[in-house]
């Protein structure tokens, strides 16, 4: 982000789209209706599941581990619209990076917050000694993260192909959207709180 704000000349040099003619690739080849639909459905599923989970986590914030989960949940909820909604719209309309270069660079810079996951793995895994179910959650969530990091590392050294790019995208997508499913499956406290929240919502309807 600092590159765009404080060194615009270097930004223009590194991200030069002046020689790119987007129309050279037919719109039908740039569109991905099936992928876009899958992204959009997953976006709504993940957000609907994640919000009550975060509310349930907040109610038990007296425990340090839940404070971490709350912070991670807020970041994931903020990230899902970029990873899911924006990507789905881009897939529907055949948008490529050079279509909205500055906007894409900004949201890409925002998404880099996920790097602290690497630092939280060790401290989260330490909870195994006291909380075996907490470890199961952490192992499942971080397992997706590690798999994503490994896949993206391999992508730097393997010939690029469309299937590999699609697989990499969905791994990255699940990294932000899969935690609420894990919470609901293995965390009784969060599951019970979410059940209460959904019951209240149903009564209001």
pLDDT, tens digit (0-9, with 9 covering 90-100), for 17-39: 877 788 888 888 888 899 999 99
Look at residue 130 and tell me if it is in a domain: yes
What is the model's pLDDT at position 37? 94
Give the mean pLDDT of 132-156. Answer: 70
Number of domains in the chain: 1
Look at residue 19 and tell me if it is in a domain: no
Q: Where are the alpha helices (DSSP H) in the chain?
A: 2-6, 8-14, 27-30, 33-58, 64-80, 87-93, 101-110, 117-125, 132-155, 162-177, 179-186, 188-204
Look at residue 1 and tell me if it is in a domain: no
Domain span at 101:
29-204
CA separation for the pair 205, 195 (Å, rounded): 15
Query: Under a CB-based contact definition with an 8 Å cutoff, are residues 152 and 194 in contact?
Result: no
Look at residue 181 and tell me if it is in a domain: yes
What is the model's pLDDT at position 112? 61
CA-based torsion, 181, 89, 24, 1: positive or negative: negative
Give the mean pLDDT of 153-169. Answer: 80
At residue 55 the predicted structure's pLDDT band, cuts being 50, 70 and 90, is very high
What is the model's pLDDT at position 50? 94
At residue 47 the predicted structure's pLDDT band, cuts being 50, 70 and 90, is very high
Look at residue 20 and tell me if it is in a domain: no
Look at residue 150 and tell me if it is in a domain: yes
Look at residue 8 and tell me if it is in a domain: no
Look at residue 129 and tell me if it is in a domain: yes
Give pLDDT tens digits for 82-131: 888 998 999 999 888 888 888 878 877 766 655 555 445 555 555 545 55
């Amino acid at each position: 982000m600092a590159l765009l704000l404080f060194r615009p000349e270097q930004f223009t040099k590194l991200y030069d789209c002046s020689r790119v003619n987007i129309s050279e690739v037919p719109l039908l080849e740039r569109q991905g209706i099936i992928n876009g639909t899958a992204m959009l459905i997953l976006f709504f599923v993940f957000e609907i599941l994640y919000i009550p989970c975060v509310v349930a986590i907040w109610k038990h914030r007296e425990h340090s581990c839940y404070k971490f989960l709350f912070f991670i949940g807020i970041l994931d909820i903020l990230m899902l619209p970029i990873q899911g909604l924006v990507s789905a719209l881009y897939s529907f309309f055949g948008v490529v990076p050079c279509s909205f270069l500055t906007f894409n660079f900004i949201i890409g810079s925002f998404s880099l917050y996920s790097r602290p996951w690497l630092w939280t793995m060790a401290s989260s895994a330490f909870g195994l000694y006291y909380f075996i179910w907490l470890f199961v959650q952490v192992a499942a969530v971080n397992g997706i993260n590690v798999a994503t990091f490994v896949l993206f590392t391999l992508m730097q050294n393997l010939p690029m192909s469309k299937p590999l790019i699609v697989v990499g995208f969905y791994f990255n997508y699940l990294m932000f959207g899969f935690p609420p499913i894990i919470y609901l499956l293995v965390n009784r406290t969060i599951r019970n709180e979410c059940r209460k929240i959904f019951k209240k919502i149903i009564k209001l309807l």
